[in-house]
Copies of this chain bind each other. A is one copy, B any other.
Amino acid sequence: MTSHGGFVLWFTGLSGAGKSTLSAALNELFRQRRYNVELLDGDEVRTHLSKGLSFSKEDRDTNVRRIGYVARLLARNGVIAMTAAISPYERIRDEIRGLVQADEVPFVEVYVECPIEVLAERDVKGLYKKALAGEIAGFTGVSDPYEPPRAPELHVRSDRESLEESLGKIVAYLERQGLIGR
């Protein structure tokens, strides 16, 4: 295990925008470089930490706060803690940023943007069609709000960039900040 400081790499964006794909690829890359890394994916965390929670505003906030709590514990102990939950609300993301930074741990927010029209066209899980038809209540970006970050450390556009380009941007930023070695 390489000796280095941990940090939080917080992905946010709509369902299907590419958070899981990007974070899974980075997870692989960090492991190859022998960093301690954990990926807290939205679905996995719902199973382990938040079973029974709904998709109401309050329960979403609780879910995201729990992910933030675990990411914070990991990162302050030298682990690269990646999260890939939609995390739609700015206030909660900023609250977690504040808690992480209070431990003197870097917080890197990655906004994975993709226009909803493109997502609805791709519609990998068939959810956008249903949501746009009004069949899913509380679907982020359609029937529930998504608040884009105003000043994310990183901004990738999955409709315009290839996966490799987005990954390259993220890795270059982390290297420049000295968060990972070159």
Contacts and interface: CB of A to CB of B under 8 A. Distances in A.
**Total copies of this chain within the assembly:** 2
Interface residues of A, number: 18
B73 A1 contact: no
Contact of A38 (B48, B49, B73): B73
A34 to B, nearest CB: 12
Interface string A48-92: 110110000000001001100110011001110000000000000
Given A1-B3, A3-B1, A3-B3, A48 B66 contact: yes
B78 A36 contact: yes
A158 to B, nearest CB: 27
Contact of A77 (B3, B36, B48): B36
Interface string A25-53: 00000000000101000000000110110
Contacts of A36: 77-78
A70 B40 CA distance: 11
Interface in A147-169: none
Interface string A110-149: 0000000000000000000000000000000000000000
5 contacts: A36-B77, A49-B49, A51-B62, A77-B79, A78-B78
